[in-house]
Amino acid sequence: MPTKILLKDLHQPGIFSYDGYRKAGGYTSVEKALKSMSPDSVMEEVKTAGLRGRGGAGFPAGLKWSFLDRKSGKPRYLICNADESEPGTFKDRFLMEKIPHLLIEGIIVSSFALGANVAYIYVRGEFKKIIKILENTIEEARTNNLVGKNILGTGYSLEIYVQTGAGAYICGEETGLIESLEGKRGNPRLKPPFPAVVGLYGCPTVVNNVETLAAVPWIINNGGSAYAGIGIGRSTGTKLISACGHINKPGVYEIEMGLPVEEFIYSDEYCGGIRNEKKLKAVVAGGSSVPILPSHLILKTAKGEPRLMSYESLSDGGFVSGTMLGSGGFIVMDEDTCIVRNLWTFTRFYHHESCGQCSPCREGTGWMEKILHRIEHGHGKMHDIDLLVDISKKIEGTTICPLGDAAAWPVASAIRHFRDEFEWHVLEPKECLIRNYGMGKEAVVI
């Protein structure tokens, strides 16, 4: 049986409550860390584990913690990024809704390792139910002396606050999140300085994703080496995948890193195959911001090797024939999917969510949306396809934050792998409109 770390107690009775969570072994890592470990030893275990940030970037968490400025004498902060605004991703929401004490336990241990006495959970504004869950969970922990002053009599104190976002995708980027948390418009900051030196209120700050922090208790209880022994290569441990699209069993799955993509899609233990016995056409493996891959490249690498659910395997081949694991938003598309229409939807989203600070992103995302609308609705020209590629190149790598890249990569990859479909939209506009919008030929006006 595959190892479960985050969801292993999901079906334990009462796991949602403090008493139920405690009966399942909850908060033992807090006792172990605060009573018998030093902050540095906790950090070393996380480094040994090879835990990588689960929000999308995949940067080693322990290494990120080690960058925190400990010499300035300023207060240190931990921020939990619970904004989860990446289209196709819903695993953090699932964790907070089903096992909220796991996140709180992870925050306590991580804050101890960082020497932080204040932690914030920045949660997406639309998660109204989850905001109440988190607030109630923190109060349960406080009642049991796990939050507040002198936790478990160890002399360590920690306050945890829930801060509601305003529904901006850009605030999923750590510096945009910090700006928003300070009460300002959520515009990303130029780096350096990095948040580890100048973060929240100008103080040393670490920002970690929900799933990242939720993995810390298991690492402390079982050891970093045990965590590193799960997975493959530098992709250690387990990963939550939000599987959706044209599959028989959409949902949140915890997988061991290194699971073959084909097994994940077709196994009854996971996605259960393509809905209505259709053929697989394409997959967006890590949320809408990563390159799309056609069926033959998502199942096997360009070298003909099985593609694995890991950071390294999915990125094998670069953006020519590879993609990214990202946040784990796994969107499956069947043979009837219109790639152009899907891309137009993605591009509308990124145009809407651009903060407008950087001209390439502010203007370029709007141009791409207009051109894709033109192609999708029967008014495209052949030169529009190359124009889209050119615009995406002008955006990529030229912006303060990665939103510009997130908008450009899907466009470039969709045209790279499905150019014939874009050309068909231009050459046969009426047929495309009939297929996508169900109109009769006599009703199509171009």
pLDDT of 326-339, one tens digit each?
999 999 999 999 99
What pLDDT is recorded for position 445? 53
Dihedral of CA 55/21/237/78: which sign? Answer: positive
pLDDT above 70 covers what percent of the chain? 98
Average pLDDT over residues 120-131: 95
For residue 30, what pLDDT band results from cuts at 50, 70 and 90?
very high
For residue 439, what pLDDT band results from cuts at 50, 70 and 90?
low
- Alpha helix (H) residue ranges in 317-356: 318-321, 339-353
The H-or-E segment that residue 440 falls in is none
Total count of residues recorded for the chain: 446
Tokens 């209505």 sit on residue: 276
What pLDDT is recorded for position 88? 94
pLDDT tens digits for 350-388?
Answer: 999 999 999 999 999 999 999 999 999 999 999 999 999
What pLDDT is recorded for position 442? 57
What pLDDT is recorded for position 346? 96
What pLDDT is recorded for position 253? 97
Give the chain's mean pLDDT: 95
- pLDDT for 443 beyond 80: no
What pLDDT is recorded for position 438? 76
pLDDT tens digits for 88-115?
Answer: 999 999 999 999 999 999 999 999 999 9
- pLDDT for 45 beyond 70: yes
Average pLDDT over residues 284-289: 95
Domain boundaries, the chain: 18-228, 231-334, 339-443
How far, in Å, CA of 81 to CA of 212, rounded?
Answer: 10
Burial, 60: exposed, middle or buried (Cβ in 10 Å; 0-12, 13-18, 19+)? middle
With CA atoms as reference, report the closest residue to 58 among 334, 256, 258, 310: 310
User: Which pTM value belongs to this model?
Assistant: 0.94
What pLDDT is recorded for position 319? 87
- pLDDT for 435 beyond 90: no
What pLDDT is recorded for position 57? 85
- pLDDT for 271 beyond 70: yes
When computed from its CA atoms, the radius of gyration of the chain, rounded to whole angstroms, is 23
User: Hey, which residues does 330 pair with through a beta bridge?
Assistant: 243
Q: Is 112 or 439 the better-scoring residue by pLDDT?
A: 112
What pLDDT is recorded for position 446? 55
The greatest distance separating any two alpha carbons of the chain, rounded to the nearest whole angstrom, comes to 78
Average pLDDT over residues 8-20: 95
Measured in whole angstroms, how far is the alpha carbon of residue 231 from the centre of its chain? 19
What pLDDT is recorded for position 431? 87
What pLDDT is recorded for position 284? 97
- pLDDT for 275 beyond 90: yes
With CA atoms as reference, report the closest residue to 428 among 446, 413, 410: 446
**What are the percentages of helix, strand and coil residues in the chain, rounded to 5?**
50, 15, 40
Under CATH, which number does the domain 18-228 receive? 3.40.50.11540
Hey, what CATH class is 339-443 in?
Answer: mainly alpha
Which of 123-127, 195-199, 322-326, 430-434 is least confident? 430-434
The answer to whether the beta carbons of residues 39 and 47 sit under 8 Å apart is: no
What pLDDT is recorded for position 430? 87
Hey, what CATH class is 231-334 in?
Answer: alpha beta
The answer to whether the beta carbons of residues 446 and 378 sit under 8 Å apart is: yes
Question: Phi-psi region for residue 309, left (φ > 0), alpha (ψ -120 to 50) or beta?
Answer: beta
How far, in Å, CA of 147 to CA of 220, rounded?
Answer: 19
For residue 201, what pLDDT band results from cuts at 50, 70 and 90?
very high
How far, in Å, CA of 254 to CA of 262, rounded?
Answer: 16
With CA atoms as reference, report the closest residue to 56 among 325, 405, 350: 325
- pLDDT for 171 beyond 60: yes
Average pLDDT over residues 134-147: 98
Tokens 């073959």 sit on residue: 260
For residue 432, what pLDDT band results from cuts at 50, 70 and 90?
confident
Average pLDDT over residues 123-145: 96
